[in-house]
Amino acid sequence: MSSPRSIVLLFTTFPKTSETFLQRDVAALQAKGLNLKLYSLWGGGGEFRGLPVRSFNKWRLVPLFLFEIPWQCVRRPRLIRDLFEGVCTRAAPSFLNFWENMLGAGYAGCFYRELQRDPPALIHGAWAGAPATAGWVLWRMFGWKYSCGAHAYDIYEHGGDWWLLEKLRHARFIHASTETGRRELVDRGVPVDRIRVIRRGLAEFPAFKPLRPDRTPLRLVCVARLVAKKGLDHQLRIYAALQAAGFAFEARIIGDGPLEASLRELAAQLGLGDCVTFLGRLEQPRVWEQLAWADVLLHTGVVAPSGDRDGLPNVIPEAMSAGVLVVTSPVSATTEAVAQERTGLVADVDLPLAWQVALQRLATDDGLAERLRGAARRWVEENYNAHRNTDRLVECFQEAMTE
């Protein structure tokens, strides 16, 4: 018997340490017995769970421009005309997004002959940037079915991806991971019946730790990339306000990023050296160790100057599953998990006093803390089960392949 037709999975960079949720998706799809082919358009490559990850050698773009594009101008003039018209008549939202889309189109031009030898049943782009562009161009060339994800970065960064609507309107389905993202896509004109809200998930739920009876000093943790949308400058000022008020706490910030030097400098200026520690990027097992230590996870997400913002960061449901209390800002989809007074507490990053009040309550009110912790764990079990959610994603793939 011949092997089943493949599903081609396209990533920007795979595997990537900060995108463990994509690794979970691939592992779960592989466990379902699907015939997967993995391609990484920018970085990554190598092997993942025994599957080769094909990387894109950018030198292949040289013959693409010299020979392939002129040949396609003759063979597919309408496609080439549409691409050049789009490039020339509207500005890309950013230099980076321009090249992301060019990368996706370049992949399609360089790899289509290889894919023709064993045409895929479905092409799925993990993101609506370069991976979705590749799927869309291959659909234009051969009519191959494609689908894609559309998450916070794709939707919000500099107003959204350059060719977002063209790609999403023709996708067999669009994987959104939050209701907030779904509503935004619908408002922009994406057909509502194409969007599937399927959350990420935990393959295993950790042990639910007991509430620490004496939470003085209160143990605070933040797990985040050190980038603008995480609002860590606000978080440091919140810590400074807590310290000025005589509130006993110890805070640990886990993560690295381009703002690390400026944030360390700000912490020093605010006199936080004795109570705030930067731990840098940690592997996932060590992150779980820090969650086991912490009483409260803080998330101070904001809308970055570029428009980028979080969807629902995975660390929030992870903390909730382990029995760590959560205080978050009311930005984007975080409040889908952290509902005020039900599964956690919500406070505006510009109001340090509100954070002080929230943390004081969690430090001293055992009844409130236990009620929030229990409800948070139930929310995760109901909404963040990786096996159940991956089953839904598999169903989407199977429906898309058979339509």
Summarize pLDDT for 110-143 with one digit per residue, the tens. Answer: 899 999 999 999 999 999 999 999 999 999 989 9
Q: With contact defined as beta carbons under 8 Å apart, do 34 and 49 qualify?
A: no
Percent of the chain with pLDDT over 70: 98
Average pLDDT value for residue range 175-181? 96
In a domain, 210, yes or no: no
In a domain, 211, yes or no: no
**What are the backbone dihedrals phi and psi of residue 55, each rounded to the nearest 5 degrees, phi first?**
-100, 160
Provide the edge-to-edge strand list for the sheet that holds 146-149.
46-48, 51-55, 36-44, 7-14, 122-125, 146-149, 174-176, 195-197
51-55 vs 46-48, strand pairing mode: antiparallel
pLDDT tens-digit map of 311-360: 999 999 999 999 999 999 999 899 999 999 999 999 999 999 999 999 99
Residues 86 and 151 placed together within one structural domain of the fold = yes
Q: Evaluate if pTM is beyond 0.85.
A: yes
Residues 340 and 391 placed together within one structural domain of the fold = no
Please tell me which residue, 87 or 291, carries the higher pLDDT value: 291
Specify which residues 178 forms β-bridges with.
Answer: none
In a domain, 173, yes or no: yes
Question: 258 pLDDT exceeds 80?
Answer: yes
Residues 17 and 150 placed together within one structural domain of the fold = yes
**Number of domains within the chain:** 2
pLDDT tens-digit map of 68-115: 777 777 778 777 777 777 777 788 889 999 999 989 998 998 899 999
Largest CA-CA distance found in the chain, in angstroms, rounded: 75
Residues 339 and 376 placed together within one structural domain of the fold = yes
| Tokens encoding 191 | 């057909």
Q: For residue 2, what pLDDT is reported? A: 46
Residue 272 structural domain: 218-383
| Three-state secondary structure call for residue 101 | helix
Q: With contact defined as beta carbons under 8 Å apart, do 196 and 175 qualify?
A: yes
Residues 375 and 392 placed together within one structural domain of the fold = no
In a domain, 213, yes or no: no
Residues 63 and 190 placed together within one structural domain of the fold = yes
CATH number at residue 100: 3.40.50.2000
In a domain, 280, yes or no: yes
User: Which amino acid does the sequence have at 150?
Assistant: A
Q: Picking from 10-24, 189-203, 288-302, 340-354, which range would have the lowest pLDDT averaged per residue?
A: 10-24
In a domain, 208, yes or no: no
Q: Picking from 16-25, 77-86, 153-162, which range would have the lowest pLDDT averaged per residue?
A: 77-86
Q: For residue 132, what pLDDT is reported? A: 96
Residues 31 and 97 placed together within one structural domain of the fold = yes
Residues 335 and 373 placed together within one structural domain of the fold = yes
Q: For residue 3, what pLDDT is reported? A: 56
pLDDT band at 1 (very low <50, low <70, confident <90, very high): very low
The label of the residue with tokens 């990786």 reads: 386
The span from the CA of 38 to the CA of 192, in Å, is 28
Residues 115 and 257 placed together within one structural domain of the fold = no
Q: For residue 362, what pLDDT is reported? A: 98
In a domain, 126, yes or no: yes
| Three-state secondary structure call for residue 298 | strand
Question: 144 pLDDT exceeds 90?
Answer: yes
In a domain, 114, yes or no: yes
Q: For residue 370, what pLDDT is reported? A: 98
Q: What is the mean pLDDT of the chain?
A: 92
| Tokens encoding 95 | 């230099």
The span from the CA of 126 to the CA of 149, in Å, is 5
Residues 193 and 257 placed together within one structural domain of the fold = no
Residues 309 and 334 placed together within one structural domain of the fold = yes
Average pLDDT value for residue range 238-264? 97
Residues 99 and 152 placed together within one structural domain of the fold = yes
pLDDT tens-digit map of 166-177: 999 999 999 999
Sign for the pseudo-dihedral over CA of 70, 131, 230, 357: positive
Average pLDDT value for residue range 155-167? 92
Q: For residue 246, what pLDDT is reported? A: 96
